[in-house]
Amino acid sequence: MKLIFLGSGSAFTVGADNFQSNILLTDQEKKLLIDCGSDIRFSLHAFELSYLDITDVYISHLHSDHIGGLEYIGFSTKFDPRCQKPNLYLSKDLAGEIWERSLSGGMRSVQGDVTDLNSFFNVNIIPRHENFTWGGIKFHTVRVIHVDNGYFLMPSYGLFFEINGTKVFLTTDTQLALEENGEFYEQADIIFHDCETAKFPSTVHAHYEQLLTLPDKIKNKIWLYGYQPGTLPDARKDGFHGFVKRGQTFDF
């Protein structure tokens, strides 16, 4: 089982040196995309892959760097007879919005038919506090604090899973919220953590300066991703594993 960072940059990363932080889990012939951002066709191509290789997709939340490539995957697999319909995994509160609020504008009409999400994907809705299984691995969804607009919390979910005895916490997009999710930082053997490095913090991502305040026993577990272009701090010197590079592969 391998975990590959097709990209390791932020939502607004531009250029061939890096792509948005979309992640691929490979298990022999099966491949699970963890998020499917708007530049996914380019990041797959850079790895000599395409929609033909994608069997499953997990969606953490509804920002375009996490769902903007679903139209590419959906249309390409639907009209290519070599493809089976991909499996799509997402939380119940996302499933109710992803079609009507994000995808239906471009995907609702095809020649001779009006479609819905099930026309393109085998939709697997994950109930609250439950999990989904892929490749023999149980993936637990972790509700993270990403965007709080003052009225409600935008639905957003990281993943906690175990591969061959290694417990992995993948935050996706999150603020640093130890009160809510500190148990996963403690339990994990390795953490892939969203990390903003912008000069002017957005407040909806964990910033490097905030992550520096974590105790060493937590920092020593962390690989950082989702960062902005430019010169990066010396993460290894500061106690982290380091910044993930585009194409970096973790073999479990």
Whether 104 contacts 71, CB under 8 Å:
no
Domain contains 87: yes
Sequence letter at residue 193? H
Determine the Cα–Cα distance for residues 199 and 43; give it in Å rounded to an integer.
Answer: 26
Determine the Cα–Cα distance for residues 59 and 86; give it in Å rounded to an integer.
Answer: 13
Domain contains 74: yes
Domain contains 95: yes
Specify the range with the lowest mean pLDDT, choosing from 6-15, 42-51, 177-186, 238-247.
Answer: 6-15
Q: How does residue 111 score in pLDDT terms, banded at 50, 70 and 90?
A: very high
Q: How does residue 14 score in pLDDT terms, banded at 50, 70 and 90?
A: confident
Task: Look at residue 16 in the predicted model and tell me its pLDDT.
Answer: 72
Domain contains 250: no
- Indicate if the pLDDT at residue 1 is higher than 80: yes
Domain contains 252: no
Domain contains 102: yes
Task: Report the share of the chain in percent with pLDDT over 90.
Answer: 95
Count of the separate structural domains present in the chain: 1
- Indicate if the pLDDT at residue 87 is higher than 90: yes
- Indicate if the pLDDT at residue 214 is higher than 80: yes
Calculated CA dihedral for residues 243, 27, 218, 160, nearest 10 degrees: 120
Higher pLDDT, 88 or 15: 88
Domain contains 251: no
Q: In terms of residue numbers, what domain contains 172?
A: 2-245
Domain contains 179: yes
Question: Whole-number mean pLDDT of the chain?
Answer: 96
Q: What is the DSSP string of 36-52?
A: --TTHHHHHHHTT--GG
Query: Euclidean distance between the first and final Cα of the chain, in Å?
Result: 5
Q: Reduced to 3 states, what is the DSSP secondary structure of residue 185?
A: helix
Task: Look at residue 138 in the predicted model and tell me its pLDDT.
Answer: 97
Which CATH number characterizes residue 16's domain?
Answer: 3.60.15.10
